């Protein structure tokens, strides 16, 4: 379904605690609320050039999102009230964001090789990664009580405990450029945008990689629907993919050509919802 013009750029999508879907319009600087029957409400951000990117439900009943362009973390209530908090390190480029197991929200800083933690009151703590130029991208809460994240330029998966202890797990495939990451409740799954593969890492660091039928598909985001059951977007191939624990992969083409699928989430109706950067949202029945 169309939700914006092609210049708005629906990018991130998350299921809110209110039974609706929440979207970031990266290019028009808005957050949108979409009900399951298609009712859309938009909330403008200030400035409109802040580039809201990834969005997640927070532990406080609000939605939290990264503002990549003006280096702030945003918060919006289900009633549409917005706040934002500056990241202490200048030019940080916050991107990935997730609710942590400790009642805080955790996020990546792509430009400054840091992982950030923000409380409901807006207090931010930063943890410096042991590698420069690593480009931390997506982040998710793991089944082990830690946070797991992709290191796009370091070709690795990182783990940080809620106390700030960091481990780095290099990927077997060189230049894989991991981006999206999710937990299925037992392990972590991630996409390798440059290698055309889906990866799985256990909490003890064991890694498996599964090549896609089309290695040029550019997988971007991934979400766990159940244990051993994940769905992902193929940004470069205009498809939605599905992978199981055994490595079996199915792919589904989107009806609109070149729709640029980015974020993906499991909706309150148990369907998959996908943000299409060319101005739409797709719903996929599992």
> Which residues are designated catalytic?
262
3-state SS assignment for residue 18: coil
* Residue 226 neighbours by CB distance under 10 Å: 12
CA distance 191 to 176: 9
Phi then psi dihedrals of residue 183, to 5 deg: -110, 140
Structure tokens at 148: 């797991």
CA distance 261 to 276: 4
Strand 105-109's sheet: what is its strand order? 94-99, 105-109, 114-118, 124-128
CA distance 229 to 249: 10
- Nearest alpha-carbon partner for 53 in 38, 63, 39, 61: 63
């Amino acid at each position: 379904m169309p939700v914006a013009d092609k210049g708005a750029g629906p990018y991130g999508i998350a299921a809110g605690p209110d039974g609706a879907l929440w979207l970031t319009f990266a290019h028009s600087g808005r957050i949108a609320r979409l009900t399951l029957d298609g009712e859309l409400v938009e909330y403008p951000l200030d400035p409109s050039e802040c580039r809201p990117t990834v969005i997640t439900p927070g532990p406080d009943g609000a939605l939290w999102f990264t503002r990549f362009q003006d280096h702030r973390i945003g918060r919006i209530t289900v009633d549409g009230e917005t706040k934002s908090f500056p990241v202490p390190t200048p030019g940080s480029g916050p991107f990935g964001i997730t609710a942590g197991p400790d009642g805080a929200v955790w996020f990546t800083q792509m430009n400054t090789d840091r992982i950030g933690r923000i409380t409901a009151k807006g207090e931010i703590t930063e943890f410096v990664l042991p590698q420069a130029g690593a480009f931390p991208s997506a982040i998710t809460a793991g089944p082990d009580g830690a946070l797991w994240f992709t290191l796009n330029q370091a070709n690795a998966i990182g783990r940080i405990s809620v106390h700030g202890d960091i481990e780095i797990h290099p990927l077997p495939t060189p230049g894989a450029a991991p981006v999206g990451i999710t937990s299925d409740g037992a392990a972590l799954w991630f996409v390798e945008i440059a290698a055309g593969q889906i990866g799985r890492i256990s909490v003890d660091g064991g890694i498996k990689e599964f090549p896609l039928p089309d290695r040029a598909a550019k997988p971007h985001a991934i979400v766990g629907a159940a244990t051993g059951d994940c769905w992902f977007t193929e940004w470069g191939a205009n498809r939605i993919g599905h992978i199981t624990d055994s490595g079996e992969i199915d792919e589904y083409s989107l009806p609109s050509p070149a729709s640029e699928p980015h974020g993906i989430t499991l909706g309150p109706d148990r369907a998959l919802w996908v943000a299409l950067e060319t101005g739409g949202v797709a719903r996929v029945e599992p």
